[in-house]
Structure 1
Amino acid sequence: MARIGKLVVVGVGLIGGSFALALKEAGAVIGAKTVVSDAGSTKEGVVALARRELKGALSRFVPGHPIAGTEKSGAEAAFAALYRGRRVVLTPLKENEPGAIALVRTAWESCGASVSEMRAREHDAVLAAVSHLPHVLAYALVDQVARHKNAKQLFSFAAGGFRDFTRIAASHPEMWRDICLANKKALLAELERYGGGLERVRKMLERGDARALAALFSGARAARERWLTDDNRDGE
């Protein structure tokens, strides 16, 4: 196979109609050796748009998602080590040329990222649980407190725990609106599961079940510690 040359990344801050337009415009000018990827937070919708807009260039479109960044947005929020030690997920298409996948993988690895592959649907389910749901919860908690009649008093006593939990509520609202809608099905499923978990906690409190609460809290703390240990090990 001929060596694949140029790599173009689209979709940074784009989703829905704006992303479709970007793909359509890219499809009209993609060269025979140009590889295209994206950096969007959801993948099933991106794949559907790519199949519709890229047509003959589909074999050289490799969907991707760098799991990195902060609650800040825009080009001014970028920094040199943004992807170092971070995960990037590729969701290759069955039509992809092997060289195209290899080029995108190499590009991310050259930024210091750890690259893995999964199906688009699996990606969206995973990110709904560990990224999209936490953002919804952070926004919802701040909104709930802000709606209290004594919101000013409540916020004046909010300290580190509240600040840490709600840090991501400082993220770009329009972008997260679009992400949530794009991954609606998977996110609704996670909200249902989370609601069930809250209901279990509510019943523990109603019963005054100290043992059950302690077991839940201890188990959650241990799970978090294992995650952090494994995450640090993976980054070595």
Structure 2
Amino acid sequence: MNATQKNPSANAPLTLGIIGVGLIGASIGLAQKKAKAFDRVLGVGRSQTNLDEALKIGAIDQAVSLEECAKEADVIVVCVPVAQTFSILHAIEPHIKANALITDAGSTKSDVIMAAKTALGDKVAQFIPAHPIAGGAQHGATAAKEDLYQGKEVIICPLQENIPPAVDAINEFWLATGAVTHKMSALQHDAVFASISHLPHVLSFALMLQVANSEDANVKLGHAGAGFRDFTRIAASSPEMWRDICLANKTAVLKELDKYLNLTKLLRDTIAKEDGDALLKAFTRASAERQKWEGR
């Protein structure tokens, strides 16, 4: 695809390369197959079993090496844990087409952009960072869904080096999956998602660990109901991915975690003092804000 084109499906034949065909990457493959935006979808991955599954469900047409993917793909989407971004981009940099475009699905952006600028050099203009706000507790190609991105947000964080037609083309790429796109700076992205995504995952992992580490864990888990299940659902997410996200966005995550700890300390003191009025006031506001948000 030429970077001056606005629509990634404008000229055929076009090849899509997906690096990392887990839940996110394989779902992109399925969605783009449905959209018929590409004539061929190539997949790259570490696990042959996962690649075989991606082939079986039709998310990709062929499993290839990183080098082959870079040489043949008109659009490349990198769907790997963010700590691997530099090594992936460094490996494909000598081989990518001059008119190819690259995007990613990383949950942090400032570190990904730094990795991209270091790995790609002058070719960083071909890289348009993105973050699809979609996923699930399960991972791997077996969990992939054709409609995973339908109606979901994708945040695009354009670089100063990107030309507008390239940004437009990647915007169209994500729209083709059924997503709704928004643009945001990398700094704002990382601050926002530390609060509404990264912190909730840390808390979910923590609660699961607290219960699992208790002497009567089996008894507690045997009586756990819907509330516990809802709260800890995301604790089943990829540990590797969330380790990388927390470390990559450390400053923003720690800031949000400190705020949360201060608030829980306040609630603890309120319970200890048996201050029912203050507790009711806090819970009532939280309940009202949750209902207001749900009604948007």
Normalising by structure 1, we get a TM-score of: 0.93
Give a deviation string over 1:159-195, Cα, whole Å, max 9, x none: 1111111011111111111111111111000110000
Matched ranges for 1:206-225 at <5 A? 206-225=272-291
Aligned counterpart in structure 1 of residue 114 of structure 2, from 48, 51, 55? 48
The answer to whether the aligner puts 1:14 opposite 2:16 as a matched pair is: no
Q: Which runs of structure 2 are paired with 1:45-124 in the superposition (5 Å)?
A: 45-124=111-190
| AA aligned opposite 2:156 | L
Q: SS of the counterpart of 1:126?
A: helix
Q: 1:2: how far off?
A: 4.1
Q: Hey, what does 1:233 align to over in structure 2?
A: none
Q: Residues 134-183 of structure 1: CA distance to partner in whole angstroms, max 9, x if unpaired?
A: 11101111111112111111111111111111011111111111111111
The equivalent residue for 2:34 is none
RMSD of aligned alpha carbons: 1.3
**Pick from 170, 195, 202: which aligns with 2:268?**
202
Using a 3 Å threshold, how does the CA distance of structure 1 residues 23 and 210 change in structure 2: closer, same or farther? same
**What's 2:15 paired with?**
none
Tell me the CA shift for residue 227 of structure 1: 1.2
Q: Tell me the amino acid that sits aligned with residue 5 of structure 2.
A: R
Contact 1:71–1:171 (CA under 8 A) maintained in structure 2: yes
Q: In the alignment, which residue of structure 2 is the partner of 1:131?
A: 197
Q: What SS does the aligned partner of 1:9 have?
A: strand
1:3 positional shift:
3.2
Kindly indicate whether residue 230 of structure 2 is the aligned counterpart of residue 228 of structure 1: no
Q: Matched residues in 2 for 1:2 and 1:157: separation?
A: 59
Equivalent residue number for residue 33 of structure 1: 99
CA contact (8 A) 1:24 1:53 kept: yes
Instruction: For residue 94 of structure 2, give the secondary structure of its aligned residue in structure 1.
Output: helix
Which amino acid counterpart does residue 149 of structure 1 have in structure 2? Answer: E
User: What corresponds to 2:232 in structure 1?
Assistant: 166
Q: Secondary structure at the match of 2:295?
A: helix
Q: 2:218 is matched with which residue?
A: 152
Shift in Å, 1:15:
2.2
Amino acid at match of 1:158: A
Q: Which runs of 4+ in 1 moved over 2 A?
A: 1-6
Unpaired runs of at least 5, structure 2: 9-73
SS in 2 for 1:37: strand
Per-residue CA deviations over 1:116-150 (Å, capped at 9, x if unaligned) read 11111111111111111111101111111112111
The answer to whether the 8 Å contact 1:15/1:40 transfers is yes
Q: Which amino acid aligns with 1:198?
A: T
Whether contact under 8 Å (1:90, 1:118) holds in the other structure is yes
Counterparts of 2:214 and 2:143 in 1: how far apart (Å)? 32
Match of 1:3 in 2: 5
| Aligned counterparts of 2:284 and 2:148: Cα–Cα separation in 1 | 33
Equivalent AA in structure 2 for residue 112 of structure 1: G
TM-score by length of 2: 0.74
Query: Could you tell me how far apart the structure 1 residues matched to 2:238 and 2:117 are?
Result: 28
CA distance in 2, matches of 1:188, 1:111: 33
Paired residue secondary structure (1:28)? coil
